[in-house]
Amino acid sequence: MPLTFELCPGRMIGGNHPCFIIAEIGQNHQGDVEIAKKMIKMAKDCGADCAKFQKSELEFKFNKQALERPYTSPHSWGKTYGEHKRHLELSHDAYRELQEYAQEVGIFFTASGMDEMAVEFLHELNVPFMKVGSGDTNNFPYLEQTAKKGRPMVVSSGMQSMETMRRVYQTVKKHNENFAILQCTSAYPLVAEDVNLRVITEYQKEFPDIPIGYSGHESGITISIAAAALGAKVIERHITLDKTWKGSDHSASLVPDELAELVRSIRVVERALGSGIKRMLPCEKACHDKLGKSVVAKVKIPKGTVLSLDMLGVKVAEPMGVAAQDIFQLVGKAVTEDVDEDVSVTPQVVEGYSKTRCR
C-alpha cells in the first residue's frame, strides 16, 4: 500500500484516499489580482482541491543577462524577458490577499517556489505543501532546502531521467518522508505521443512507499482521466478563463467546463476502480438468478447411480442446480434420488457434495 500522508490540513493522499486535484493557475492571471481571484473561485466551483500559483523572486531565479534579453514573443508583456516576468509576478501582499480569499471560498492555496527565496516566502506564508516545478527537480541544493522545511512536497519530473528521479527520491526522503512524485512532460501543449503515462506505473514500482501522480499539459481531459485510472493520487492541470489570452500556457489549460468535467470523471473512475477483489457482487445477483447456468441431467439418472460426465450437462435451469463450475466435482458421486432427464441436479440429491460451496 503506497504511503499515505496529510498533504493539506484534514486532507490525506495516497492509498485509498481520493485523488488530490490541483488547479494550476500559475501565471495565467495575467498579472491581475482580481483575475487571480476569479480563477481561485473557478477552481473551487469546479471541484478542485487546491488552487496553485507560481512564485518567483526574479533576481534569484534568473541572472541579469537572462532578464535583460529581448523578448519579442506574441505572448510578451514587455520588451525584455525581465519586463515580461515582472508584469506577471504578483507581490507578497498580493499573495497574502489571495491566500485569504482562498480561505474564504474554501479551497487550499499554495504555489510552486521557483527559487530558494520564493521557498522562504512560501514557508513564511504557511502554505500547506510545497510544489517543486520540473525546472527545479534536479536542483539538489534547492530540494534539500525545501525538504528541510518539513512541509509536505509534490515534485514534478518533467525533463528528468529515471536516474535523476532516483536521486531526487533519496535526497528528499533523507529529510522529509511526506512527498509525492508526478509524471510530467514539459511541453506546452503536449501531444499524446509524448505523455508517456506508463512512467506512472514505473514510478509506482520504483518508489512503492510514496504516492505517484500526474502533471499534464495536454489539450483536453482524456489523458488525465487515464492517469487517474492508472492510480495517480495527485492530478495537476493548468486552468484558464480564456484559452485565447496572451501567454503560452493558456492553450494547454482547461476552461471551467473542462475542469468541472475532469473532476467529475476522476471521481467516477475512482468509484469504478473498486477493491481489486474479484467475486460475484450483490448487484449481479439478479442477472445470476435469471441467466446463471447450472448442472442438469442429460439422461434419466436412477437413485444410487454413480455420476459420470456424460450424464451431465449445463443449462439455465429452474430450479438452479449445482453451479456450472462444480460439474467435475460431481463425477464419482452417487445420487440419492431419481433425477429425470433435463432436470436440475441439485446439491441435495448428490451424496457427499457440499451444499455451501461458493458459486
pLDDT tens digits, one per residue of 213-264: 999 999 999 999 999 999 999 999 999 999 999 988 998 999 999 999 999 9
Predicted confidence band at 358 (pLDDT cuts at 50, 70, 90)? very low
pLDDT score at 79: 95
pLDDT score at 248: 85
Q: Within 13 Å and on the Cβ side, how many CA atoms surround 356?
A: 0
Predicted confidence band at 357 (pLDDT cuts at 50, 70, 90)? very low
pLDDT tens digits, one per residue of 272-293: 999 899 999 999 999 999 999 9
* Torsion angle, alpha carbons of 231, 40, 60, 70, to 10: 100
Looking at residues 111-132, what average pLDDT do you find?
98
pLDDT tens digits, one per residue of 29-47: 999 999 999 999 999 999 9
Residue 180 has phi, psi (to 5 degrees) of: -125, 150
| Cα(266)–Cα(253) distance, integer angstroms | 17
pLDDT score at 39: 98
- Strands (E) in 68-198, as ranges, are 108-113, 130-132, 153-156, 179-184
- Among candidate residues 148, 176, 169, the one with its CA nearest the CA of residue 212: 169
Predicted confidence band at 355 (pLDDT cuts at 50, 70, 90)? low
pLDDT at 1 over 60: no
pLDDT tens digits, one per residue of 200-215: 999 999 999 999 999 9
